[in-house]
Structure 1
């Protein structure tokens, strides 16, 4: 564990806190990146399939006076994490003159249900690689860069909680549930460096998940909205504000928690 001690991380040349947000070319990741930047923090956002979306996010942050950089990342391939870490370290130095991060937001993923009878090993493994193994080992890879008193936020799902149990999501929810449990254990394990580890569990939110399901099937929105206390589905900014709070010093006394952000879905 000596490679993870704070003594080996030098003092930054900037007072600006830098946060990595994975999967920030659209949806919740984009919402989180914008909200984090609005609070005066620099953002390194990652993308996989949609570089143009990532660049739009970077441009919007810069237009509002913030600082941001976009880097490619395939979360399903842990063998690429050393090269990504090198690229991230170079971006930290060139853009901000530092070698440390304040926080990591493990948000990248994909959605979409599949009936249990139709589940294949390949499909199950795809859920595992992206939704659980990827964020778990990316956190391990970037941990030496995260400052003492920093933060880690994992995007989970309200599907792991009773009351939001829909047919066809056993594989997806199993991985999100694993991530939520890992969050609690990592909060304990990393407490020696005062690193806070929390997860956020959004309810139905207007994103491109499920191959842009809301765009392709807008008729499902009213039914989902009717199950919330506020009569609407979530927007990326709704969840982004919660994530931004959890990486900020305002949440300095919160760790090991899974925060429901559902607008009272299935109350």
Structure 2
């Protein structure tokens, strides 16, 4: 399915979980991929192989989203890949997905934990997107990863949920200010998903899984595929008139 007209997407945190599935879904829809990883190089290389087996090009680059110190070098690496493998073409989609979770109740959350959530989930995507703006095509799509926890609340997620609410707000501002370049910006807010997020609690704790499923209109928790297909849709021309929206993908949780 690879052809010269393939679009190019960059997905942060593409070595596992939701980022991996989003990258694979994008490849299925005719995108070539650049994915990032922090420490899981072997996992990222395996994702690259899976993407290539679909018939798309794929490259993996290390990126620590928690600090802006490496963003200039990262941008240069992306530029090198675009120049050497894509004839200098630009990106058509940017998916800000990389992140971790912290579960600590409000009264014991430390400044270090809050700083980590701020750096990884807000400051990092904010300045990484800013750094990559000139590598984005006119009319491209940015998808920021929010969370259902920005709407509903669970004990222990005040820092994480607050940062995801900030991402929802940022997405609207980005959509407004980048509209002159016809760049669309939306946020995707997953509900409870069976991944290794938060130590894999949703996936591995059957009682917790069933409790969450019982509060979901569709009667189950989510799978990575439930999210990746939506991300791929928002990166495609099929969503060309969707902009500045927060799309919760939770199966109807706590409605």
Query: TM-score category by the smaller chain?
Result: over 0.9
Q: How many residues align?
A: 253
Q: Is the 8 A contact 1:180 1:199 kept in 2?
A: yes
Instruction: Report whether the alignment pairs 1:243 with 2:231.
Output: yes
Aligned to 1:194: 182
1:102-251 equivalent positions in 2, closer than 5 A: 102-161=92-151, 164-251=152-239
1:50: how far off? 1.3
Counterpart pick for 1:86 among 52, 76, 88: 76
Q: Provide closer, same or farther for how the CA distance between residues 146 and 109 of structure 1 changes in structure 2, counting only shifts above 3 A.
A: same
TM-score, normalising length from structure 2? 0.96
* Unaligned 5+ runs, structure 2: none
**Larger RCO, structures 1/2 (Cα 8 Å, 6+ apart):** 1
* Unaligned 5+ runs, structure 1: 1-13
1:52: how far off? 1.7
Q: Is the 8 A contact 2:148 2:248 kept in 1?
A: yes
Q: CA RMSD in A?
A: 1.3
Q: Is the 8 A contact 1:112 1:211 kept in 2?
A: no
Return structure 1 stretches of 4+ with deviation > 6 angstroms: none
Aligned to 1:53: 43
1:192: how far off? 0.2
Q: Provide closer, same or farther for how the CA distance between residues 242 and 215 of structure 1 changes in structure 2, counting only shifts above 3 A.
A: closer
Secondary structure class of the residue paired with 2:144: strand
TM-score, normalising length from structure 1? 0.92
Residues 34-91 of structure 1: CA deviation (Å, up to 9, x unaligned): 0000000111000012112211111111112121111100001101000000111111
Instruction: Report whether the alignment pairs 1:26 with 2:8.
Output: no
Deviates more, 1:94-103 or 1:72-81: 94-103
1:216: how far off? 4.9
Secondary structure class of the residue paired with 1:259: strand
